[in-house]
């Protein structure tokens, strides 16, 4: 059984500050250890339920956060920036299941480190009229490939958001938010145990998860922090500006829709550079 794991950072237990998510500080080194621990727990749970071929896509920031030699299950590791499918690079129809590990809540949510793709540019994203975080957006690729998303691990709100688009997804809650920069975190070993158990359960129930939960054609509405960001987004074909700071992207081809969204994310970030 082939399992694809998209690993983010901010939803991991113990992560509550941007300093833990990047750079060369002690805080970042601690963050990397916490993320590796939950990633390996997900791999171990998948293997226990029959997973034989595991692919891990590093989906956070510069996307080289994990030590490849320390990944469990001899997992394949996809790392590095500017990947065409970004947080879903490497997924295709040869896989049997998708895991979202270490996922966080959408921008604007009263949840720890909440954001959607780029906190310096995106104010809100809606999928078919509903506010979505990264799980809903990334699920477009899974549906295009015909692979069910069966597991999400992360903060409490991330699971709630994901279920709007993936009602059968198994959720493992690793922490509860107190503020945007504080959380009640499970002990890492406790969190890893729950992730390991949840991964096994999710994979065991893979045949019960619908392959096409998101209605198509799908509509993404993206609101930016500034008007010039919305204008720049329209430089990409298929992007329509409908409000001073907002654009819409609609397509029956979910992979094309996601790729267009990623192109917008990559382009507009230039206006947020300091």
Catalytic residues: 115
Beta strand ranges found along 76-200 (DSSP E): 76-78, 97-103, 122-127, 130-131, 149-155, 170-179, 182-185
What's the Cα-to-Cα distance from 156 to each of 13, 124, 129, 147, 217, rounded to whole Å? 11, 19, 22, 24, 29
Contacts of 202 (CB under 8 A, 6+ apart): 45, 97, 99, 150, 151, 169, 170
DSSP string, 32-88: HHHHHHHHHHHHHHHHHTT--EEEEEE-STTS--S-GGG-GGG-EEE--S--TTGGG
C-alpha 39/C-alpha 56 separation (Å) is 8
Residue 260 host element (H or E): helix 254-268
Write the CB contacts of 238 (distance below 8 Å, at least 6 apart in sequence): 249, 251, 260
Q: Are 113 and 18 contacting, i.e. CB atoms less than 8 angstroms apart?
A: yes
Whether the bond between 89 and the residue before it is cis, its omega within 30 degrees of 0, is: no
- Contact (Cβ atoms closer than 8 angstroms) between residue 148 and residue 210: yes
Three-state DSSP class for residue 184: strand
Asked whether the beta carbons of 103 and 156 are under 8 A apart, the reply is: no
Give the tokens for residue 142: 């899974």
């Amino acid at each position: 059984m082939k399992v694809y794991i998209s690993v983010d950072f901010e939803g991991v237990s113990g992560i509550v500050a941007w300093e833990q998510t990047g750079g060369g500080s002690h805080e970042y080194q601690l963050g990397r250890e916490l993320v590796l621990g939950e990633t390996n727990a997900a791999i171990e749970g998948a293997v226990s339920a029959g997973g034989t071929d595991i692919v891990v896509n590093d989906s956070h920031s510069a996307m080289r956060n994990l030590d490849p030699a320390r990944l469990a299950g001899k997992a394949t590791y996809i790392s590095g920036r500017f990947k065409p499918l970004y947080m879903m690079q490497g997924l295709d129809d040869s896989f049997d299941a998708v895991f979202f590990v270490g996922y966080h809540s959408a921008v604007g949510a009263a949840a720890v480190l909440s954001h959607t793709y780029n906190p310096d540019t995106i104010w809100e994203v809606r999928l078919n009229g509903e506010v979505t975080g990264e799980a809903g957006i990334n699920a477009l690729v899974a549906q295009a490939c015909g692979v069910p998303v069966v597991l999400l691990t992360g903060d409490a709100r991330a699971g709630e958001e994901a279920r709007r688009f993936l009602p059968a997804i198994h959720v493992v809650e690793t922490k509860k938010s107190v503020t945007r920069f504080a959380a009640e975190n499970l002990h890492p070993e406790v969190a890893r145990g729950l992730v390991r158990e949840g991964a096994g359960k999710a994979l065991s129930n893979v045949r019960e998860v619908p392959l096409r939960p998101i209605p198509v054609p799908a509509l993404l509405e993206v609101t930016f922090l500034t008007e010039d960001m919305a204008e720049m987004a329209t430089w990409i074909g298929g992007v329509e500006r409908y409000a001073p700071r907002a654009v819409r992207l609609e397509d029956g081809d979910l992979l094309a829709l996601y790729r267009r969204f990623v192109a917008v994310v990559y382009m507009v970030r230039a206006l947020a550079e300091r």
